[in-house]
Amino acid sequence: MSLVRRTLMALAAPLMAVVAAMVITSLVVFASQSSPAEFWTIIFDPPAPRVYVNIVNQSAMIFLSALAAAVGFKMNLFNIGVEGQYQMASHAAAIFAGAAIFSGALNVLATLVVAMVVGSLWAGIAGVLRVTRGVSEVISTIMLNAIALTLTGYFLSTYGEKAGNSRRTTVLDPGSRLAGFTPFEERDGAIWTLVVLAVLAGVAFSFVLNKTRFGFDLRATGMSETAAVASGVKVSRMIVISMMLSGAIAGLIWMPAFFGAAYSYGTTFQAGLGFTGIAVALLGRNQPLGIFFGAVLFAFLNEQSNRLTLQSDISQNVVQITQGVIVLAVVVAYEVVRRRKVAAEQQAVRRNIDADKDAPGEAVSA
Amino acid sequence: MSTVVSEPEATSSKSRRRSFVPRWLLLVAFVVVVVSAVRIITGQDQIDSPGSLSAAIIATCPILMAALGGLWSERAGVVNIGLEGQMILGTWGAAYFTYYYGPWMGILGAALLGAVGGALHALATVTFGVDHIVSGVAINIIGLGAAKFLAEAYFANLEGGGVKQLTGLDRPPSITLPGLSDGAEAIADKGWFVISDLASVVAALTDNLNVMTILIFALLALSGWVLWRTAFGLRLRSCGENPQAAESLGVNVLRYKWIAVTISGALAGIGGGFLALVASSGFVTGQTGGRGYIGLAAMIFGNWRPGGILTGALMFGYTDSLPLRSADTIHALLLLVAIGLAALAVWRFTRQQTTQGLVFAALGGLFLLWFLVTDSVPREFTGMTPYLATLLVLAFAAQRLRMPKADGQIYRKGSAG
């Protein structure tokens, strides 16, 4: 296949998915007696400076979450538990940072380590259960999500400080807060310093996966477990390590917001990023670049949809439908494209064989 | 005194008439005796009062429906993580159709909306061969978003409605058997060993029992009959065990999978409808609270069998409903768990599985210690029980569980070759 055709084939699936999602969203908006044109005008209106800042911040967190999911997906491990892992990790990290054992930048670094360790341990439970007891990681991580929700709720309500009607962890010492970078005016908010974590994690992810022995083993296990075993990969060790790696990245998800704006774990905690991450990882085909575009798209839709409530009578929840449809449509589209590709290849082979039959002499000389 | 009377009876029947009395009946008898003993030792009547049992039945129904939905789908070889999303769609469907056409149409509406979610899952997984987990995750996102959106679009301006809710709906009728329920309740209040506990069960089943509850238990029995006693069910299950063989025998595998997954969605939808119509006073967004996932857990806990999923759903429903009642009762449950674990340990020892027996004995000891040294248990912990129990069951009994052989595998037409 020519390069042009290959590129077209590669782009066909995401494009088909986005078009399908737009059509379905328009139909849903239309069915609720609102104007699809109005909807898309509001969504595609140039964002205000404050919204730009939010999009960058949210994209970074979604990116980290998707990366965490992608590590597992790369070797056919469905880590549905990113949500629980980053919840446990964020809570533990907030307690640790609030205790101010270290000060200043050292506190930040130590807290990041704590977050990664707690996240990886929580994910490791699922990995160990899978390896030693044969428990499907899909079910165990779903259970661990629910347990994490209960545990953090219990710890917060038992040991948290009172703040109005709710409880929170000890507030972060001002010396360890990270002011961030203000691209516009002060009132438009700042891009959090630890957004840089997303960039670092993305670079590290592609380096480890594409340039190291470990990355090769991981990809090999995902593509064919039997082949990986034959080439000397210890699959059960790989499963535990990649689950823990996935959990470690998950531990970082909320850290930009914690050091940049929240300063304590409580009502400020942003839940649900783990599930968004799974969707974005699927959308981006587990590739850092794809995930990047997916994260920006989801953050853009989330932030822009806030205006719907102010400027129209359309519910902002409609973008959730859009996001779900994009995910479903993109996997369906990839499957359709893959089948077409296989069919095209088979046809090409057939043509060659037919040509060989017609001109046997040429085939031999070629 | 009464302990002495009833114990030999139970053991003698076990040894003498093993082949005549089904094992599950013995198990039920054992549970009743233990629960009754715990009730008398701790003095916690709430542990199985008619009120507690009624609440437990109400909490069981949605979980049971989700689990049954999972059973249909997975028996045909399609993993349905999207149960949660289909349930959420069901809550909306029940509210909408009940508001305009009454509660009976509301139940149908819940099934219809759930079936739409199921059909979407079938389209993606069966027709397009997408990974089942991926599709399920997407359906959960869509279901949640769609229910929120539809609520805002259709309920905001209704009487009793709002952007997130619709209350004041008509309920399906409830049935009370006047003489029986009063009598049973009176006996239950006496606090007699075993007799009062059985009366409590009768009272819970005869006093103010909702028709939808009966419908749900009927659906369970019907599903068991259809799946295991009819040719249709045999073919459907063969699609989950060995689709290639099924197709070579002329079964239209893709059609059976489609039917199974759509029914699965409809059942989950009815579970959601129960939440909106019976378990609470109306529709609220997000009221499923992860029950779709608990249903999935109950199905695995129940080893993909109707009787097993009923046990799982009852257990999860009971622990789900208890925190709403007395905090001391939860403490009494620790003793119950300790005795249960001790029984498991004994059973394991008789089977010469010493390691597992020791683990259960140790766990039982820990629970007993917990019971003896504390006065109360944090409410949050009971909410965690279903999930922890599932993890433990999976960890200790994964070898005993047997899921359909081709469960979760993508099947393409004509791969029988």
Separation of alpha carbons A291 and A297, rounded Å: 10
Q: Residue A85's pLDDT is what?
A: 96
CA dihedral A69, A71, A77, A80 (to 10 degrees): -10
Phi first, then psi: what are they for A351, rounded to 5°? -60, -45
| Residue A188 DSSP class | G
Q: Where would I find the H helices in B76-102?
A: 83-101
Separation of alpha carbons A205 and A66, rounded Å: 12
Radius of gyration of chain B (CA): 22
Q: Residue A360's pLDDT is what?
A: 59
**Cα four-point dihedral sign B201, B203, B205, B208:** negative
Measure the CA angle with vertex B384, ends B380 and B390; round to 5°.
170
Using one digit for the tens of pLDDT, what is the confidence trace for A256-298? Answer: 999 998 899 988 899 889 988 988 998 888 889 989 999 999 9
Q: How far is CA B22 from CA A24, A262, A300, B299, B410, in A?
A: 54, 59, 60, 22, 38
DSSP string, A35-63: -HHHHHHHHHSPPPHHHHHHHHHHHHHHH
* Residue B198, pLDDT above cutoff 70: yes
Higher pLDDT, A295 or B202: A295
Higher pLDDT, B10 or A204: A204
Q: Residue A62's pLDDT is what?
A: 96
Buried b (16+ CB within 10 A) or exposed e, A115-125: bbbbbbbbbbb
Task: Report residue B408's pLDDT band, with 50, 70 and 90 as the boundaries.
Answer: confident
Q: Is residue A51 within 8 Å of residue A265, measured between CB atoms? A: no
Contacts of B330 in chain A (CB under 8 A): none
Choose the mutation target among A76, A321, A325, A337 for the interface with B, i.e. most B CBs under 10 Å: A321
* Residue A346, pLDDT above cutoff 70: yes
Q: Which chain B residue is nearest to residue A277, measuring alpha carbons?
A: B137
Q: Residue B324's pLDDT is what?
A: 65
Using one digit for the tens of pLDDT, what is the confidence trace for B257-270? Answer: 999 999 999 999 99
Q: Residue B323's pLDDT is what?
A: 66
Q: Residue B96's pLDDT is what?
A: 94
Average pLDDT, chain B: 86
Separation of alpha carbons B346 and B366, rounded Å: 16
Q: Residue A365's pLDDT is what?
A: 46
Using one digit for the tens of pLDDT, what is the confidence trace for B77-103? Answer: 999 999 999 999 999 999 999 999 999
Q: Is residue B246 within 8 Å of residue B63, measured between CB atoms? A: no
Percent of chain A predicted with pLDDT > 90: 37
Q: Specify the 3-state DSSP secondary structure of B282.
A: strand
Task: Report residue B417's pLDDT band, with 50, 70 and 90 as the boundaries.
Answer: low
Q: Where is average pLDDT lowest: A277-281, B18-22, B332-336?
A: B18-22
Q: How far is CA B383 from CA A154, B107, B370, B391, in A?
A: 11, 28, 18, 14
Interface of B with A in 93-122 (CB under 8 A): 120
Percent of chain A predicted with pLDDT > 70: 97
Closest C-alpha to A33, from A269, A318, A304, A250: A318
Q: Is residue B30 within 8 Å of residue B343, measured between CB atoms? A: yes
Separation of alpha carbons B339 and B334, rounded Å: 9
* Residue A339, pLDDT above cutoff 70: yes
Q: Residue B1's pLDDT is what?
A: 33
Q: Where is average pLDDT lowest: A41-50, A315-324, B167-176, B382-391?
A: B382-391
| pTM, to two decimals | 0.87
Q: Which chain A residue is nearest to residue B378, measuring alpha carbons?
A: A154
Q: Residue A251's pLDDT is what?
A: 95
Q: Specify the 3-state DSSP secondary structure of A359.
A: coil
Q: Is residue A255 within 8 Å of residue A114, measured between CB atoms? A: no
Q: Which residues contact B150 (CB under 8 A, 6 or more apart)?
A: A32, B92, B96
Q: How far is CA A83 from CA A97, A179, B141, B257, in A?
A: 21, 27, 14, 31
DSSP string, A214-260: HHHHHHHHHH-HHHHHHTT--HHHHHHHHHHHHHHHHHHTTHHHIII
Quote the ipTM score.
Answer: 0.84
Radius of gyration of chain A (CA): 24
Cβ-in-10-Å burial (0-12, 13-18, 19+) of B29 comes to middle
Within an 8 Å CB–CB cutoff, is residue B139 touching chain A?
yes
Separation of alpha carbons A155 and A11, rounded Å: 47
Using one digit for the tens of pLDDT, what is the confidence trace for A297-332? Answer: 999 999 998 888 888 888 888 888 888 888 888 888
Q: Which residues contact A360 (CB under 8 A, 6 or more apart)?
A: none
Separation of alpha carbons B389 and B394, rounded Å: 8
Contacts of A33 in chain B (CB under 8 A): 153
Contacts of B154 in chain A (CB under 8 A): 32
Task: Report residue A246's pLDDT band, with 50, 70 and 90 as the boundaries.
Answer: very high
Task: Report residue A75's pLDDT band, with 50, 70 and 90 as the boundaries.
Answer: confident
Q: Residue B106's pLDDT is what?
A: 94
Percent of chain B predicted with pLDDT > 70: 93
Q: Residue A113's pLDDT is what?
A: 96
Q: Residue B387's pLDDT is what?
A: 81
Average pLDDT, chain A: 88
**A129, A315, A325 member nearest B395 (Cβ):** A129
Using one digit for the tens of pLDDT, what is the confidence trace for A54-73? Answer: 999 999 999 999 999 999 99
Separation of alpha carbons A134 and A118, rounded Å: 23
Interface of B with A in 148-207 (CB under 8 A): 148-150, 152-154, 163
Q: Residue B20's pLDDT is what?
A: 64
Mean of pLDDT values over B344-355? 84
Closest C-alpha to B164, from B276, B241, B243, B6: B276
* Residue B203, pLDDT above cutoff 80: yes
Q: How far is CA B391 from the centre of its chain?
A: 16
Interface of A with B in 67-96 (CB under 8 A): 78, 80
Using one digit for the tens of pLDDT, what is the confidence trace for B232-244? Answer: 999 999 999 999 9
Closest C-alpha to B371, from B44, B80, B61: B44
Task: Report residue B398's pLDDT band, with 50, 70 and 90 as the boundaries.
Answer: low
Cβ-Cβ contacts under 8 Å between A and B: the total is 136
| Residue B294 DSSP class | H
Q: Residue B6's pLDDT is what?
A: 41
| A365 phi-psi bin (left φ>0, alpha ψ -120 to 50, beta other) | alpha
Q: Where is average pLDDT lowest: A133-137, B116-120, B144-148, B385-389?
A: B385-389
Task: Verify whether the Cβ–Cβ distance A324 to B394 is below 8 Å.
Answer: no
The encoded tokens of residue B380 equal 């949050």
Closest C-alpha to B144, from B124, B158, B164, B128: B164
